[in-house]
Amino acid sequence: MALVIGNGAYDNLTPVLPNPPNDALAVAEVLHGLGFEVDVATDVTKDRMEDALARLARQSRTAEVTLFFYAGHGLQDQGRNYLAPIDAALTDETDLRRRFVRLDDVLDDLASANGARILLLDACRDNDAIDALRAAVPATRSASVTRGLARVASVEGQLVAFATQPDRVAADGDGENSPFTSALMTHLPAPGVELRTALTRVRVDVAAATGNSQIPEVSDSLLGEVYLKPDASSEGGGATDDAEAAPEKPAPSEAAAAWSAVKDTSSVAVLKTFADRYAESFYADLARARIAELEAQASTDAPEPEAPATGAEEAARLAWDAVKDTSSVSILTTFAARYSDSFYAELALARVSELEAEAEAARRAEERAREEQTAAVTPEPLPQPQAESGHWFVILGSFPHASQKAAVDHRYRLRTEGYDAQIIDTNTYPNLRDGLYAVVLGPFSKASAEAALPNARRAVGDAYIKSGH
């Protein structure tokens, strides 16, 4: 069983990465050819990523080999590794726990796997948001937030291969795939090569491709040898005569590029044509699954018209009928380039302009909503310390004065979950002179604060109580 994820189209993290979706599709096709049952996902949110990981954990209990591949942004904090869904944001420490996927949780979920566990992490692309996070955390903590991933502890039956050494950044690559993924595509399917040997060859290729600036590292505690593709000769196979050789199949990159162009279409005819052309590829399975989905949704089954053998304009019209309902800018621009002399190319470019305008309007509306939310949710007048003892707070988060917006956003999230949180300036209280804005519940008596703490920790795991006097 294999789960393959490639995240590149990030909403909040920069830079956006062009290659992880390509890397995921390429690795998925390789694994499919090696006999894996593959679940592949590109540009997924945290909810979808966690759903896919939960499926893999369940499937791993009966699998001979379980493999997880991830390409995209990643980082570490205090030695813990985090993988980034496309909806991840990074303004303070709380975002790490709530908006990222912790690698330790993935490893824990796979701990009950029946057979070998293999993780291939083409992560830790350079991430500009890390600098902002370092500025938001206390100075004593900022050094622990670093680019790159940390080593993982060796666990029996598990192998973790990193695209680069700990605390280092991996390259996204100048071509269609990253250096690490390109090497995996070459060496994982090599017949008769044990997995560790294949990964050693991957290390050599990546080091050569990057001028030794990126050297993959492996944490290995597998018991026994793992061959993803046994030598054909050991199973009674062997090379065939040239006269009996099967017709050459399209290269994986050709099938991947073609799938990228048609994957968003709602035309059954286009998908059937693709599945016939690339019948032996992994992407043909995806096309057939999409065809079944579209046919199940259709209220009636109308026969598809035969394409008449007419002139170029009629061919353009038929092609337009296949793509006119798509919302993919890539498909429409490809169509316009292919039929540039046709009236339908003008329709395609007009639709591209419309889609881009809609996307820009949605982006501006989202920005306005965030600005209005921030303006509407401002700190109330700060409560003054009381003379009597027992002025206790349940503290749900602390932020430097320079990060007041982060404190406001944190309080807003807590209030949407039903907590009557407020913001105090710790300098106002004799026992809390930390120069921070604290998001708190209270003030309470000590007994009331202790009673409120368990519920608060369900919202913020590191909540604690403290007296203001």
pLDDT tens-digit readout, 217-235:
999 988 889 999 887 654 4
The rounded distance, in Å, linking the Cα atoms of 214 and 203 is 9
What is the structure's pLDDT at 417?
Answer: 86
Rounded to 5 degrees, φ, ψ at 160 are: -120, 120
Q: Are 432 and 168 in contact (CB under 8 A)?
A: no
Q: What angle do CA 190, 194, 195 make, to 5 degrees?
A: 85
Provide the percentage of residues in the chain whose pLDDT is more than 70. Answer: 82
> Is 157 a domain residue?
yes
SS3 content of the chain, % helix, strand, coil (to 5): 45, 15, 40
Residue where a domain stops, chosen among 185, 208, 235:
235
Is residue 219 a contact partner of residue 151, using CB atoms and an 8 Å limit?
yes
The answer to the question of residue 281 being in a domain is: no
* Residue 243 pLDDT class (50, 70, 90 cuts): very low
Q: Which of 172, 140, 154, 71 is nearest to 107 (CA)?
A: 154
With contact defined as beta carbons under 8 Å apart, do 133 and 90 qualify? yes
Q: Do 55 and 124 share a domain, yes or no?
A: yes
Domain of 120, CATH number, reads 3.40.50.1460
Taking a C-beta distance cutoff of 8 angstroms, is the pair 393, 465 a contact? yes
What CA dihedral angle connects 290, 291, 296 and 299, to 10 degrees?
Answer: 120
Looking at 208, 235, 262, the residue that finishes a domain is 235
Q: Is residue 254 part of a domain?
A: no
Same domain, 365 and 426: no
Task: Tell whether 403 and 372 lie within a shared domain.
Answer: no
Q: How confident is the model at residue 50 (pLDDT cuts 50, 70, 90)?
A: very high
Inside any domain, residue 81: yes
Same domain, 362 and 399: no
Does residue 197 lie in a domain region? yes
Rg of the chain's alpha carbons, rounded to an integer?
A: 27
CA atoms within 13 A on the CB side of 247: 6
The domain that holds 442 is classified in CATH as: 3.30.70.1070
- Is residue 280, in this structure, part of any structural domain at all? no
Judge whether 352 lies within some domain.
yes
Residues 30 and 120 in one domain: yes
Are residues 23 and 178 in contact, defined by beta-carbon separation less than 8 angstroms?
Answer: yes
Structure tokens, 285: 């399975």
- Final residue belonging to a domain, choices 209, 235, 261: 235
Same structural domain, 45 and 83:
yes
Q: What is the pLDDT of residue 152?
A: 85
> Is pLDDT above 80 for 141?
no
CB half-sphere exposure, 203, CA atoms < 13 A: 14
Q: Tokens 């993803």 sit at which residue?
A: 228
Q: Which two tokens stand for residue 278?
A: 């690339």
Are residues 169 and 114 located together in one domain of the fold?
Answer: yes
- Does residue 170 or residue 24 have the better pLDDT? 24
Return the higher-pLDDT residue of 148 and 284. 284
Nearest to 153 by CA among 101, 80, 64: 80
- Count of domains observed in the chain: 3
Which pLDDT does position 196 carry in this prediction? Answer: 93
> What residues pair up with 159 in beta bridges, in sequence order?
118, 220
Q: Nearest to residue 66, comparing CAs of 84, 39, 45?
A: 39
Q: How far is CA 30 from CA 40, 121, 229, 251, 353, in A?
A: 12, 16, 11, 12, 37
If 0-12 CB within 10 Å is exposed, 13-18 middle and 19+ buried, where does residue 71 land? buried
| Mean predicted confidence (pLDDT) in 10-14 | 86
The answer to whether residue 147 scores a pLDDT higher than 70 is no
C-alpha closest to that of 424 among 464, 395, 453: 395
Q: How far apart are CA 379 and CA 221, in angstroms?
A: 52
| Closest among 304, 261, 257, 259 to 284, alpha carbons compared | 259
pTM of this structure: 0.53
Peptide bond into 179 cis (omega under 30): no
Neighbours of 382 (CB within 10 A): 14
Stretch 376-391: mean pLDDT, rounded? 49
220 versus 15: which is more confidently predicted?
220
**Both 33 and 168 in a single domain?**
yes
15 and 154 within one domain: yes
Sequence-separated (6 or more) residues with CB below 8 Å from residue 73: 7, 10, 13, 17, 83, 84, 88, 123, 124, 125, 127
The CA distance from 403 to 153, in Å, is: 35
Residues 29 and 117 in one domain: yes
How would you label 37-66 residue by residue, b for 16+ Cβ within 10 Å and e otherwise?
A: ebbbbbbbebeebbebbeebbebbeebebb
One domain for residues 64 and 152: yes
Give the range of the structural domain holding residue 351, as residue numbers without chain letter.
310-376
Residue 265, domain member (yes or no): no
- Does 25 share its domain with 49? yes
